[in-house]
């Protein structure tokens, strides 16, 4: 898996020139890019959400567009619209900002549900239908949406269908004191984002996206993923658990995570490392549990601690698979 690990490390190191002290969060973002998924970043203002999106797009040489979501934003402002050209006497399609390879949907929860729904087809089916004509999204295609978890005035909560289309949810968080000193020192004269150069081309990225699909996942690991997701649906504090799309996202992201570690096989620890980011935002907690301030992240961690892990029967795709029922924690 050196054809994935080495270029992935180059991208991570390049992005970390801008995003200081957030190694795991940067790797998680790259996992979503490799899996052709989308990212929801939920955090307070000023912690680097926009800079993360810009740094990723520059590192891989992708086109970048930003959409500032506001209550008066229309669906056509996102997807584009057809305009009548008096000179040619024909309608011409003017693509919207969604027609870019990396799209930052800033403060997505400030737009009305009608505008939010314009992203549904784009994110899942990689296309947009405008005036009966289907327009494909560019490849690769990554939506990075941000929202402020503190300020709720003038916002519209994302519906479950929208949340389910995000592969993972990240929280960047505040830097540590020493890391914040580094940030202050690095921005004395110029912003580090201005010095970020491309370290990976789009063709190489597409090859990496294809390569991770060949990473071996043992049957025991696949069953472990299903048991985790099933447990979210049966938890007493959960009204709606993770969907089959959540299972698939956890499966695919574990493949990417293993490849970035240089392995051609997935281990249970890969699944554990990703489970909270992949599953927690898909859970709807019951109202009684909400009054007790039950957190979806905590529910997923409880499930991880309670579900036993079956030992994988093989360590790579080339190894002969033999049945095994030996449990381990």
Query: With helix as H, strand as E and coil as C, how does 109-153 read?
Result: HHCCHHHHCHHHHHHHHCEEEECCEEEECCCCCEEEEEECCCCCC
pLDDT for residue 273:
94
Q: What is the pTM of this model?
A: 0.88
pLDDT for residue 136:
92
Q: Among candidates 327, 277, 320, which has minimal Cα distance to 40?
A: 277
The domains of the chain, with CATH numbers, are: 215-311 (1.10.8.80)
- Distance (Å, rounded) from C-alpha 322 to C-alpha 293? 45
pLDDT for residue 312:
61
Q: Per residue in 74-95, pLDDT tens? A: 999 999 988 888 888 888 889 9
Q: Among candidates 215, 249, 216, 257, which has minimal Cα distance to 232?
A: 249
Burial letters for 29-39: b for 16+ Cβ neighbours within 10 Å, e otherwise? bbbbbbbbbbb
Q: Per residue in 104-120, pLDDT tens? A: 999 999 999 999 988 98
293 has pLDDT over 90: no
pLDDT for residue 67:
94
Average pLDDT over residues 295-304: 93
pLDDT for residue 88:
84
Q: Per residue in 156-210, pLDDT tens? A: 888 888 899 999 999 998 989 998 998 888 888 888 888 889 999 999 999 999 9
Q: Could you count the other beta carbons within 10 Å of the beta carbon of residue 23?
A: 13
């Amino acid at each position: 898996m050196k054809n994935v690990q080495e270029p992935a490390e180059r991208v991570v190191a390049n992005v970390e020139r801008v995003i200081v002290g957030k190694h795991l969060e940067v790797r998680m973002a790259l996992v979503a890019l490799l899996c052709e998924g989308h990212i929801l970043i939920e955090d307070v203002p000023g912690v680097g959400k926009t800079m993360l999106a810009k740094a990723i797009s520059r590192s891989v040489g992708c086109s970048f567009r930003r959409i500032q979501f506001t209550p008066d934003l229309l669906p056509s402002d996102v997807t584009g619209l057809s305009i009548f050209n008096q000179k040619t006497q024909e309608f011409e399609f003017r693509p919207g900002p969604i027609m870019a390879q990396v799209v930052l949907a800033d403060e997505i929860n400030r737009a009305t549900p009608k505008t939010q729904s314009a992203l549904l087809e784009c994110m899942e089916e990689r296309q947009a239908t405008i005036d009966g004509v289907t327009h494909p999204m560019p490849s690769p295609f990554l939506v990075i949406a941000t929202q402020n978890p503190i300020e709720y005035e003038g916002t519209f909560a994302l519906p479950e269908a929208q949340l389910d289309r995000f592969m993972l949810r990240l929280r960047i968080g505040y830097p540590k004191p020493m890391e914040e000193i580094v940030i202050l020192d690095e921005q004395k004269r110029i912003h580090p984002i201005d010095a970020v150069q491309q370290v990976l081309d789009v063709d190489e990225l597409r090859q990496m996206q294809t390569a991770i699909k060949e990473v071996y996942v043992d049957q025991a690991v696949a069953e472990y993923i299903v048991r985790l997701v099933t447990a979210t649906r049966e938890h007493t504090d959960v009204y709606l658990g993770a969907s089959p799309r959540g299972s698939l996202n956890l499966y695919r992201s574990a493949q990417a995570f293993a490849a970035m570690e240089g392995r051609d096989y997935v281990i249970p620890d890969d699944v554990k490392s990703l489970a909270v980011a992949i599953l927690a935002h898909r859970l709807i907690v019951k109202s009684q549990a909400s009054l007790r301030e039950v957190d979806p992240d905590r529910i997923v961690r409880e499930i991880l601690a309670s579900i036993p892990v079956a030992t994988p029967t093989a360590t790579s795709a080339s190894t002969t698979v033999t049945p095994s029922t030996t449990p381990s924690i």
